[in-house]
């Protein structure tokens, strides 16, 4: 496997554009977008805001792995936020999976996605898979460091630059 530099570049560029837009509009990280929009928020893999129609109409599946009923939500059908890993999953066309027990919340956290093939995967694992690299044990960490919730946009760029260099690429 080799690094999907184009996908990494696209995700980092998106996050920087989102941060710049937030700085201009002063809505802040918790501002949910209109239906179909997706905004950078590094503190969570993903977080969605569903309207009543989406709450009722989202298909339900049972996950034997998790022992619970999950709602399948297209991230672009609602206002959603996501970190770099969450956005990489959105770019791939994955659907968010939400615990049915969380469906009543105003802001619903998301930890898992369903791929087009129907596989249920954690957002971090799926983003690694899509980028074509595994997390590493190098000093400073690898992809999971990139996905860390405490990262500023400057840290996201610096970590992504280092990951690219480590794989012989330039971001």
pTM assigned to the model: 0.83
* H helices present in the chain, as ranges: 5-25, 52-57, 84-91, 123-131, 143-146, 153-166
Residue 120's DSSP bridge partners are: 114
Q: What pLDDT, on a 0 to 100 scale, did the predictor assign at position 1? A: 64
CA distance 142 to 44: 18
Q: Hey, what's the torsion of the CAs at 38, 40, 46, 52, to 10 degrees?
A: -40
pLDDT tens for the chain, 171 residues: list them.
Answer: 689 999 999 999 999 988 887 776 655 444 555 555 677 888 888 888 888 888 888 899 888 777 888 999 888 777 778 889 999 999 999 999 998 888 888 888 899 999 999 999 999 899 989 998 776 545 445 665 888 888 999 999 999 999 899 889 999
CA distance 92 to 88: 6
CA-wise closest residue to 61 among 107, 97, 94: 97
The answer to whether the CB of 48 falls within 8 A of the CB of 71 is no
CA distance 117 to 16: 30
Other beta carbons within 10 Å of 64: 7
CA distance 40 to 123: 15
Tokens of 134: 């595994």
Tokens of 140: 């400073």
> What does each C-alpha distance from 3 to 43, 92, 138 come to in angstroms?
24, 15, 16
Burial class of residue 155, CB neighbours in 10 A (0-12, 13-18, 19+): middle
């Amino acid at each position: 496997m080799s690094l999907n530099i184009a996908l990494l570049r696209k995700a980092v560029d998106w996050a920087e554009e989102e941060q710049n837009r937030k700085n201009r509009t002063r809505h802040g990280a918790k501002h949910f977008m209109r239906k179909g929009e997706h905004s950078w928020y590094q503190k969570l893999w993903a977080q969605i805001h569903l309207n009543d129609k989406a709450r009722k109409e989202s298909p339900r599946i049972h996950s034997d792995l998790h022992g619970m009923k999950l709602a399948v939500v297209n991230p672009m059908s609602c206002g959603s936020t996501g970190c770099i890993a969450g956005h990489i999953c959105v770019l791939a066309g994955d659907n968010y999976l939400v615990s049915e027990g969380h469906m009543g919340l105003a802001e619903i956290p998301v930890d898992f996605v369903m791929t087009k093939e129907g596989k249920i995967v954690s957002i971090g694992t799926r983003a690694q898979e899509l980028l074509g690299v595994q997390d590493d044990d190098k000093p400073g960490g690898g992809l999971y460091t990139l996905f860390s919730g405490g990262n500023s946009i400057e840290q996201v760029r610096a970590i992504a630059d280092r990951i690219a260099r480590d794989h012989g690429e330039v971001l």
